[in-house]
């Protein structure tokens, strides 16, 4: 019989047959006294405000630019967008399989290490 199986059997036997010890009355106070609370960092920093300001100004500038363009320019932009989309659809048939295989490779790479750790016997 494996050593771990014997140990597990002994632990199961002890858990089922021995009475439980009563909980100390001051367990909560002693545990809470050992907890050290550091000051929480700010959830929003000045960098977050700066990034939000830049993104807001960029979106606002794009909106104002789109509103002030003449209709001919908007129509030409729309036509170029349609042509770019059609070119992408026709010439990029390889993209979807490449993305799927790349995603599968990434997920396999992320999953293999934990699976190997779970299956290896580390002497416990």
Which pLDDT belongs to residue 121? 66
Quick one: 5 exposed, middle or buried, by C-beta within 10 A (0-12, 13-18, 19+)?
A: exposed
CB 124 within 8 A of CB 4: yes
Query: Distance between CA atoms of 33 and 108, rounded to whole angstroms?
Result: 45
Per-residue pLDDT reduced to its tens digit, 95-116: 888 889 999 999 999 998 888 8
**Global model pTM greater than 0.85:** no
- Higher-confidence position of 105 and 117: 105
Q: What is the pLDDT of residues 21-35, one digit of tens each?
A: 787 777 788 787 888
Instruction: Give dist(CA 87, CA 95) in Å, integer.
Output: 13
């Amino acid at each position: 019989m494996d050593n771990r199986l014997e140990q597990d059997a002994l632990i199961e036997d002890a858990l089922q047959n021995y009475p439980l010890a009563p909980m100390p009355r001051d367990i909560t106070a002693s545990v809470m006294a050992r907890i050290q609370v550091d000051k929480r960092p700010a959830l929003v920093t000045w960098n977050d405000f700066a990034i939000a300001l830049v993104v807001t100004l960029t979106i606002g500038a794009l909106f104002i630019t789109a509103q002030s363009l003449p209709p001919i320019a908007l129509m030409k932009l729309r036509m170029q967008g349609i042509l770019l989309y059609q070119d992408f659809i026709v010439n990029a048939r390889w993209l979807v399989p490449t993305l799927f295989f790349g995603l599968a490779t990434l997920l396999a790479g992320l999953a293999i290490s934990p699976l190997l750790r779970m299956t290896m016997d580390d002497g416990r």
